[in-house]
Structure 1
Amino acid sequence: MRAFIVLLFLLPAPALAFERVESRDAFLSLVQGRTLSGDGVSLRVGVDGSISGRGFGLRVTGGWTWEGGFFCRTLDTLLRDFPRNCQVVQVLGDVLRFTADRGAGDQADLRLR
């Protein structure tokens, strides 16, 4: 028995991993009524397909849809418009990870508040 207990302490703890958000409903259950913040941005994602908030001191507006398992968004600021981009969304605790270009691009981790 003692060897079994020692063995348990030697085994690595399971690693926590981001899990993919698969549906619009699952995504909304995470973001509804909350703010996404980090990396210089603070955004709200609306049930009506709207995005609003601030990024790097600028007002941000935009829109989003959920298509084929991807979060597809456009963003507009005073200085730059960001074209439509469909992104993989993953969650780990209170962090959402957005990976651009259908999962092949840059990542941004935003905390749910």
Structure 2
Amino acid sequence: MNRFAEKRFHPLKKHTALYSVLLLLLLTLLFLISIRSISDTTHEEQAESLKAAILRSSVHCYAVEGAYPESLSYLEEHYGITYDKENYVVDYEIIGSNILPDVTVIPLT
């Protein structure tokens, strides 16, 4: 090794720890954003699934009893519809005994 050769200064070596921490923070942020996106998508799909289940139960009630249920509570009591009332608001609007009710499911979070 030559004692008189100049040592070259490499700018990345000086801040390697800083770059590592910044990269870790960036990856953590991307991970949290992706988890949030997946959670939102899942919540929306659950709302659609709840709406489909309510409509299916309404049609089943119509086929068995000859009229659509008068309220959502009737479906809960007799047809086993359950949902998390803290996370969803369900608007069940009956139009007539022989017309399919209008169902709207709104996620709260």
Which one has a larger percent helix, Structure 1 or Structure 2?
2
TM-score, normalised via structure 2 length? 0.25
TM-score, normalised via structure 1 length? 0.24
